[in-house]
């Protein structure tokens, strides 16, 4: 797990090229504090940089950028390949020679033997750049779930890439802001892929590789495998498969030569991971957070699970004064504005403080098994979509935010569906807040963002929306950026490629339950998952931010905001009539970050 950066251009001299990449890497040092390395090919105008967080093969043999013995290919790699032992054994039978115990070297040899077909054989979370010195091609590759970030810029006949947006700005490669980002933040609560806050910088799509050939031509190619055919209709068969594949995923992701643990919130997903991981690795460390505010305190549930684990449970009290003290650091760590990630910042801080370099997280289970209210609301949305769109125009004028979101249904596409389910502000409200036209808002939301979801209003579509919009753009990005700000790697077993592929084959009538979220996951593991963990209302990994932000003078003071509409909203927040996420989004848009 690391941070990577690089530049491919014929317009800079070697010294200038190396200086730019060095600046980029220095900016990313927090995500790779253990080592730094560079590769420069003067003739090709290529420079790769690397900041290392040592997890597998902690020796100097893991130094990057790395090449094979013949130097046919160079790589700078961020992530983990969990099936590298199996791939390595297969490659050795084909004649490949290895000089280290790293998964990085396995990627190189896999490419040399199988070409770009190798990318689809990798199981893990990864983003890497690879230079084929024989053909002159440079590849940027991102994992099929988009767990690891990779941003790129192709302006001015050059290719630049980095793990974080701040690297482009620091090196002066891309500095102009994308003026649409306030619209996206106020609507989504995050910046949706492939866009960023910078005009010329995009996110590489998950499951894609970008190839720049020696002539400078760029092509984007998907390597995501086709969905498996057929459905599993027997519940017992489905449960047996879930049990097997999740255990396999956890076993894979416990591979590490550095200390590893589990985030334990007390919910179903983290509790299950901790209990299953404990079966495979004794003396497992778990990290938990608790609060003085009883409404958010889950210690009783955390303790139930911790008592069944042989390892040590580290617990940390987070108070409002901690939030006040660390808010500037949290805002800086974000890299791009978001309404999420505060919880991830704190628990990552404590995990690193407790000596861990790697942790398992339960991200992904809700999206796979129907853990969100949207899985039931999607049916109501299907009914609403049968009504004439003009009927929804008046709802934007209502004060109640739940009803105001009906105004999104004037536009018939999946982005509008998602914003009806999860959106913060309506187009009319956003137009007032940033002093622009509603037409501009709609162009940014519905014309510029690709509409590619299914068209059926069922639980599979809810899963698509939650996976490809909420989890992809918010949960995964914010988990990565916040954890890496502390030099911590977060692994997500529920997003293992083979586990996801298996779950996708389960018939929706078996996979989802109308009355109990994640029922099939609970039924599969009822023998080890305590009843008081799953038989209670869903809480999620939440903080008392409604109260904390209301007390924070920077966020809650109307005088800090510009415009009548913004001041009115903050007054509503102070009166308990506006959710903290909306106030926090507005706070960031108004220039306080």
Residue 153 annotated among the catalytic residues of the structure: no
Per-residue pLDDT, averaged over 77-82, amounts to 94
Per-residue pLDDT, 505? 95
Q: Give tens-digit pLDDT for 124-160.
A: 999 999 999 999 999 999 999 999 999 999 976 899 9
Task: Evaluate whether 57 touches 2 at the Cβ level (below 8 Å).
Answer: no
User: What is the sign, positive or negative, of the torsion defined by CA atoms of 335, 336, 339, 340?
Assistant: negative
DSSP SS3 for 30: helix
- What are the phi and psi torsion angles at 397 (to 5°)? -90, -5
Instruction: Give residue for tokens 């200038």.
Output: 16
β-sheet bridge partners, residue 287? 263, 314
User: Does 57 score more than 90 pLDDT?
Assistant: no
- CA dist., res. 337 & res. 316, Å (int): 26
Per-residue pLDDT, averaged over 254-267, amounts to 87
Query: What does the block give as tokens for 411?
Result: 């536009």
- CA dist., res. 212 & res. 364, Å (int): 33
Report the CATH fold assignment for 235-370+460-543.
Rossmann fold (3.40.50)
| Average pLDDT, rounded, for the chain | 91
- The annotation places the binding site at 103, 289, 361-362
User: What is the sign, positive or negative, of the torsion defined by CA atoms of 494, 500, 504, 505?
Assistant: negative
DSSP SS3 for 298: coil
User: Does 540 score more than 60 pLDDT?
Assistant: no
Question: ω before 69 within 30° of 0 (cis)?
Answer: no
User: Does 289 score more than 60 pLDDT?
Assistant: yes
- The annotation places the binding site for L-glutamine at 103
Query: What does the block give as tokens for 484?
Result: 């890496």
- Measure Cα distances from 163 to 142, 224, 496 in Å: 11, 21, 21
Per-residue pLDDT, 62? 67
Write b or e for each residue in 460-491: b if 16 or more Cβ atoms lie within 10 A of its Cβ, otherwise e.
bbbbbbbbbbbbbbbbbbbbbbbbbbbbbbbb
- Measure Cα distances from 493 to 165, 225, 276, 500, 513 in Å: 27, 19, 11, 10, 22
User: Does 7 score more than 90 pLDDT?
Assistant: yes
User: Does 536 score more than 90 pLDDT?
Assistant: no
Q: Give tens-digit pLDDT for 331-353.
A: 999 999 999 999 999 999 999 99
Task: Evaluate whether 99 touches 184 at the Cβ level (below 8 Å).
Answer: no
The order of strands in the sheet holding 285-290 is 313-317, 285-290, 260-263, 358-360, 489-491
Query: What does the block give as tokens for 543?
Result: 């903080």
- CA dist., res. 118 & res. 121, Å (int): 5
Q: Is 409 left (phi over 0), alpha (psi -120 to 50) or beta?
A: alpha
Greatest mean pLDDT among 30-34, 282-286, 355-359 lies in 355-359
Per-residue pLDDT, 455? 73
Per-residue pLDDT, 400? 59
Task: Evaluate whether 511 touches 545 at the Cβ level (below 8 Å).
Answer: no
- The annotation places the binding site for ATP at 289, 361-362
User: Does 56 score more than 60 pLDDT?
Assistant: no
The distance of Cα 227 from the centroid of its chain, to the nearest Å, equals 22
User: 277: which residues sit within 8 A by CB, 6+ positions away?
Assistant: 250, 254, 262, 284, 360
Domain residue ranges in the chain:
2-222, 235-370+460-543
- CA dist., res. 348 & res. 358, Å (int): 10
User: Does 402 score more than 80 pLDDT?
Assistant: no
The order of strands in the sheet holding 159-162 is 35-41, 46-52, 2-8, 159-162, 151-153, 202-203
User: 47: which residues sit within 8 A by CB, 6+ positions away?
Assistant: 6, 7, 8, 17, 18, 20, 21, 38, 39, 40, 41
Per-residue pLDDT, averaged over 431-437, amounts to 93
Query: What does the block give as tokens for 521?
Result: 């996951």
pTM above 0.75, yes or no: yes
Task: Evaluate whether 73 touches 44 at the Cβ level (below 8 Å).
Answer: no
User: 41: which residues sit within 8 A by CB, 6+ positions away?
Assistant: 47, 74, 131, 133
In the Cβ-directed half-sphere of 322, how many Cα atoms lie within 13 Å? Answer: 18
User: Does 444 score more than 90 pLDDT?
Assistant: yes
User: Does 401 score more than 60 pLDDT?
Assistant: no
Query: What does the block give as tokens for 417?
Result: 């569906």
Query: What does the block give as tokens for 90?
Result: 């297969």
Query: What does the block give as tokens for 455?
Result: 């068209």
The CATH number assigned to the domain with range 2-222 reads 3.60.20.10
User: Does 304 score more than 60 pLDDT?
Assistant: yes
Q: Give tens-digit pLDDT for 217-251.
A: 999 999 988 877 778 999 999 999 999 999 999 99
First to last CA, the chain: 28
Q: pLDDT grade, residue 382 (50/70/90)?
A: confident
- DSSP-derived secondary structure letter, 389: G
User: Does 593 score more than 60 pLDDT?
Assistant: no
In the Cβ-directed half-sphere of 515, how many Cα atoms lie within 13 Å? Answer: 1
In SS3 terms, 78-139 reads as: EEEECCHHHHHHHHHHCCCCCCCCCHHHHHHHHHHHHHHHHHHHCCEEEEEEEEECCCCCEE
Per-residue pLDDT, averaged over 584-588, amounts to 97
Per-residue pLDDT, averaged over 4-32, amounts to 88
In the Cβ-directed half-sphere of 249, how many Cα atoms lie within 13 Å? Answer: 27
- What are the phi and psi torsion angles at 186 (to 5°)? -70, -25
Per-residue pLDDT, 266? 87
Per-residue pLDDT, 578? 93
Per-residue pLDDT, 257? 75
Active-site entry in 2, 153, 211, 239: 2
DSSP SS3 for 47: strand
**315 sits in which H/E element:** strand 313-317
Per-residue pLDDT, 589? 95
**141 sits in which H/E element:** strand 138-142
Per-residue pLDDT, 255? 86
């Amino acid at each position: 797990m690391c941070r990577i950066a690089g530049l491919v251009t014929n317009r800079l001299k070697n010294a200038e090229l190396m200086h730019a990449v060095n600046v980029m890497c220095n900016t990313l040092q927090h995500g790779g504090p253990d080592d730094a390395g560079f590769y420069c090919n003067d003739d090709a105008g290529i420079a790769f940089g690397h900041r290392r967080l040592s997890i597998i093969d902690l020796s100097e043999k893991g130094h990057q950028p790395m090449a094979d013995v013949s130097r046919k290919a160079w790589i700078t790699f961020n992530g983990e390949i969990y099936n590298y032992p199996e791939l390595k054994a297969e490659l050795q039978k084909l004649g490949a020679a290895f000089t280290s115990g790293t998964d990085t070297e396995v990627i190189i040899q896999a490419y040399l033997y199988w070409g770009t077909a190798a990318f689809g054989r990798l199981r893990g979370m990864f983003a890497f750049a690879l230079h084929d010195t024989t053909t002159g091609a440079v590849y940027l590759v991102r994992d099929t779930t988009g767990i690891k970030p990779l941003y790129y810029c192709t302006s001015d006949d050059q290719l630049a890439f980095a793990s974080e947006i701040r690297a482009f700005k620091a090196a002066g490669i891309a500095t102009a802001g994308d003026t649409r980002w306030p619209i996206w933040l106020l609507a989504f609560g995050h910046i949706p892929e492939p866009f960023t806050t910078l005009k010329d910088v995009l996110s590489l799509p998950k499951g894609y590789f970008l190839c720049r050939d020696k002539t400078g031509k760029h092509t984007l190619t998907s390597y995501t495998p086709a969905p498996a055919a057929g459905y599993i209709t027997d519940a017992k068969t489905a449960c047996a498969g879930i049990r097997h594949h999740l255990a396999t995923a956890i076993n894979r992701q416990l591979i590490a030569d550095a200390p590893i643990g589990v985030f334990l919130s007390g919910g179903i997903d983290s509790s299950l991971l901790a209990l299953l991981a404990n079966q495979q690795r004794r003396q497992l460390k778990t990290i938990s957070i608790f609060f003085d505010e009883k409404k958010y305190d889950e210690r009783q549930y955390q303790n139930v699970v911790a008592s069944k684990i042989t390892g040590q449970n580290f617990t940390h009290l987070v108070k409002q004064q901690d939030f006040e003290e660390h808010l500037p650091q949290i805002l800086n760590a974000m890299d791009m504005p978001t309404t999420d990630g505060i919880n991830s910042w704190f628990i990552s801080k404590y995990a690193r403080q407790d000596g861990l370099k790697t942790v398992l997280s339960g991200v992904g289970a809700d999206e796979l098994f129907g853990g969100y209210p949207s899985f039931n609301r999607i049916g109501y949305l299907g009914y609403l979509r049968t009504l004439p769109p003009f009927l929804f125009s008046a709802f934007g004028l209502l004060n109640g935010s739940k009803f105001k979101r009906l105004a999104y249904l004037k536009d018939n596409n999946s982005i509008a569906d998602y914003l009806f389910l999860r959106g913060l502000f309506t187009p009319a409200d956003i137009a007032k807040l940033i002093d622009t036209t509603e037409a501009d808002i709609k162009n940014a939301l519905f014309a510029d963002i690709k509409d590619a979801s299914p068209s059926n209003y069922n639980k599979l579509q809810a899963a698509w929306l939650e996976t490809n919009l909420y989890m992809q753009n918010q949960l995964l990005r914010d988990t990565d950026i916040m954890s890496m700000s502390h030099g911590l790697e977060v692994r997500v077993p529920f997003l293992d490629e083979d586990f996801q592929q298996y779950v996708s084959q389960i018939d929706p009538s078996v996979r989802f339950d109308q009355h109990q979220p994640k029922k099939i996951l609970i039924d599969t593991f009822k023998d080890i998952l305590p009843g008081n963990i799953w038989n209670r209302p869903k809480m999620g990994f939440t903080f008392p931010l409604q109260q904390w932000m209301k007390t924070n003078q920077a966020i809650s003071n109307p005088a800090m905001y510009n415009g009548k509409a913004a001041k009115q909203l903050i007054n509503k927040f102070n009166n308990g009539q506006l959710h903290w996420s909306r106030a926090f989004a507005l706070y960031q848009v108004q220039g306080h970050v």
